[in-house]
Amino acid sequence: MTTRLRILDDGAWLSVDDARRVSVSELWRLDEPDFCECDLADMVVENFLETGVDGRTVQVRVYGQCIACGTKSTTGWVPVGRVVDGEFTDIDREGVLTSMADQ
């Protein structure tokens, strides 16, 4: 079964099978030392840049700003959901997200 991933509205939404599922303006707690110097970045997502799949994991690269230190940067691949039995399931983005190795 194929799952269609698209970025909509000039980077404002991640669409999964023609349904808007993840939006910008979310606050993500990010464990990614390359993003900024904070131990854990509190990042406001400003723009989706790329989407991809690693196995069943849906991941994105985003541009955002750490509200603690002010750094604006692009992330590595960050998981936002999984596709199981053809259905998209959100990953809890209120927890700490860890970027995955570059594809």
97 found inside a domain: no
Give the DSSP H/E element, type plus range, for residue 4.
Answer: none
State yes or no: pLDDT of 103 exceeds 50: no
28-40 as b/e: b if 16+ CB within 10 A: bebebeebbebeb
pTM: 0.87
103 found inside a domain: no
- 3-state SS record for 28-60: EEEECCCCCCCCCEEEEEEEEEEEEEECCEEEE
63 found inside a domain: yes
Cβ–Cβ under 8 Å, residues 51 and 60: yes
- 29-58 pLDDT, tens digit each: 999 999 999 999 999 999 999 999 988 999
24 found inside a domain: yes
Domains: count for the chain: 1
- 58-72 pLDDT, tens digit each: 999 999 999 999 999
- Report the pLDDT value the prediction gives residue 101, as an integer from 0 to 100: 55
State yes or no: pLDDT of 1 exceeds 70: no
Average pLDDT, the chain: 91
Radius of gyration of the chain (CA): 13
Residue 2 has, within 13 A of its CA and on its CB side, a CA count of: 4
102 found inside a domain: no
Model confidence at 94, pLDDT cuts 50, 70, 90, reads confident
Tell me the residue range of the domain where 51 lies.
5-92
Neighbours of 47 (CB within 10 A): 14
- Report the pLDDT value the prediction gives residue 102, as an integer from 0 to 100: 44
- Report the pLDDT value the prediction gives residue 2, as an integer from 0 to 100: 79
